Structure 1
């Protein structure tokens, strides 16, 4: 192709002038770059299937002039690597988890505070608009990232091959795989576990070879990664929520003409709505499905876990790190935390 992905940002001004929806011949002359979207999500995850359908629709409606290619399952590297590629302009779009974004823009992790949200109503209100969403988007903007909306990756549970997690004591010393998230690392350390960061695509092998004793993730993600094949116990701790921001390199995004941005934004919005509905159904069906695959499932009382975090100073620490104003914005949706 005449214009490489790396060259796109450097030549975005020139490309933007040629980008309005035009005859297919313009693309053949190299006027329009093919853009890449990286994602850590497995092929079967609804974030992958719904976004792939949206990109197909964008391609069709623009008669091939807007061609965004999705690379799921960490094909373009780990989440930190994809964040770096996105900021440099090597890729134009990415799907990046709230938990891993915290390492780049700390405030991005605030929706994942342990036991903050117990249902989706206040969660989507917080993230689809309002003060908290605005603060997160502004924080991402400082790193040259344009944020669309968040796709769902669910409330997270613990799956292990060692023992069920019925109490805080059951976590003591367990090596639990977590994403590169300071918030989740802090949570499991406060509960006495030994969290370890492993790339999602490498987690199955790590659990199979006992490099890790278990992992924590949502039911659809546990199903999609097939880790139930090498683990035995699923404990419905619901300790944290995680989702994925759809992001663009802000310079590349602003270089696109208004009609192209409107078309892309409309289809991505529709994909988010579809993904959330699909994920909710998968989550509702997940426990029965995983039980049928042989997992032993329990639902512990969550209050002792929350109380242990209060005693460990977890909430006080993160209120200090996020700042009083951001914490107040969070509590306007969740109610008081850490009391």
Structure 2
């Protein structure tokens, strides 16, 4: 009996000596961007920075193009702890944390410069990220797809009325569906890889995606009218499983936050470069559209304002859903940083 107790004691001592974080040395970071995209480049820089600054303690493998599942699935995986890190668009994350839907309000930001200034405001990060821990997430930074635009096969779009009656493929997000339903469109749910053929065959008349994405997917071959509506910024939050995060030391947490800031800047810079020199095409987006006979429309400030006013019922609905506090806070910050 004494011999058995002695063996058990030794076993317990050996078990206690195993570092509690040894399982986390190999981490996975999931996202949906293709490898050439600015988001993917930013996330790769994130992984490299963490590996370097922690002397290899945390080796992050990145998984682009939804290799670990769609965004809703990856968010659930981070929530459960089976995935440590992911970049999830607020359009999807709002299904878990309703308050982040504020960033998907149509025509919220007057321009890109203002959007970036607001998002880089530490008080904005602190406010929006404060809603995440109760759902098992920690937000540490931003990456993005791009600002969303509108293309269709029927006619030029310059006013809200021009969208009425069009069959529009819309991302499966409550805020985006509400936006186009309010404009009188017939919203259609089609998987993204099927959008080109759906436009080509007339199953849908229009789609809404960043123009850069549309060009890279060759949508202008089958949609000859493109409007730079810039109706929403497809922003993603880098989320970390809360239990994993709380096991990191304060110094390690700071390294992860620094990596997220670096990913943000890399993402934005790379996206700007792509728009001026499309991969494998060696031309700008404007040149590509011209070459394919696409009418590219840039809205005037007055035309954009007409769209924003048309979105009042959508804003009112979400104010009721997510509260005056976050709504008024964001509108004040946009006014503060307007450029």
Query: Normalized against structure 2, the TM-score is what?
Result: 0.80
Alpha-carbon distance in 2 for matches of 1:141, 1:289? 45
User: What is the CA deviation profile of residues 256-304 of structure 1, one whole-angstrom value per residue up to 9, with x for unaligned ones?
Assistant: 3444434333223212122222223445675424324513212242233
* 1:290 counterpart residue number: 288
Counterpart of 2:308 (choices 306, 309, 323) is 306
1:322-337 equivalence runs, <5 A: 322-335=322-335
In structure 2, do the counterparts of structure 1 residues 330 and 278 end up closer, same or farther at CA, with 3 Å as the change threshold? same
* 1:38 counterpart residue number: 30
In structure 2, do the counterparts of structure 1 residues 123 and 188 end up closer, same or farther at CA, with 3 Å as the change threshold? same
Alpha-carbon distance in 2 for matches of 1:178, 1:94? 23
In structure 2, do the counterparts of structure 1 residues 68 and 334 end up closer, same or farther at CA, with 3 Å as the change threshold? same
Give secondary structure in 2 for the equivalent of 1:239: coil
Q: Which has the larger radius of gyration?
A: 2
1:81 counterpart = 2:73: yes
Shift of 1:147: 0.6
Shift of 1:145: 0.7
* 1:128 counterpart residue number: 120
Alpha-carbon distance in 1 for matches of 2:93, 2:263? 21
In structure 2, do the counterparts of structure 1 residues 16 and 249 end up closer, same or farther at CA, with 3 Å as the change threshold? farther
In structure 2, do the counterparts of structure 1 residues 333 and 265 end up closer, same or farther at CA, with 3 Å as the change threshold? closer
Alpha-carbon distance in 1 for matches of 2:29, 2:222? 31
Preserved contact between residue 140 and residue 256 of structure 2 (Cα < 8 Å): no
1:17 counterpart = 2:17: no
In structure 2, do the counterparts of structure 1 residues 151 and 115 end up closer, same or farther at CA, with 3 Å as the change threshold? same
Preserved contact between residue 191 and residue 308 of structure 1 (Cα < 8 Å): yes
In structure 2, do the counterparts of structure 1 residues 308 and 71 end up closer, same or farther at CA, with 3 Å as the change threshold? same
Query: Normalized against structure 1, the TM-score is what?
Result: 0.80
* 2:7 counterpart residue number: none
Shift of 1:137: 0.8
Preserved contact between residue 103 and residue 180 of structure 1 (Cα < 8 Å): no
1:184 counterpart = 2:151: no
Give secondary structure in 1 for the equivalent of 2:226: strand
1:86-235 equivalence runs, <5 A: 86-235=78-227
Where structure 1 has 5 or more consecutive residues not aligned to the other structure, the ranges are 1-12, 20-30
Preserved contact between residue 42 and residue 225 of structure 1 (Cα < 8 Å): no
CA RMSD, Structure 1 to Structure 2 (Å): 2.8
Preserved contact between residue 37 and residue 270 of structure 2 (Cα < 8 Å): no
Preserved contact between residue 45 and residue 224 of structure 1 (Cα < 8 Å): no
In structure 2, do the counterparts of structure 1 residues 213 and 35 end up closer, same or farther at CA, with 3 Å as the change threshold? farther
Shift of 1:190: 0.7
* 1:315 counterpart residue number: 315
In structure 2, do the counterparts of structure 1 residues 259 and 135 end up closer, same or farther at CA, with 3 Å as the change threshold? closer
Alpha-carbon distance in 2 for matches of 1:18, 1:114? 43
* 1:26 counterpart residue number: none
Shift of 1:97: 0.9
Shift of 1:331: 1.5
Shift of 1:70: 1.3
Shift of 1:92: 0.9
Q: How many aligned positions are there? A: 311
* 1:267 counterpart residue number: 259
Alpha-carbon distance in 2 for matches of 1:206, 1:60? 45
In structure 2, do the counterparts of structure 1 residues 74 and 211 end up closer, same or farther at CA, with 3 Å as the change threshold? farther
Preserved contact between residue 122 and residue 333 of structure 1 (Cα < 8 Å): no
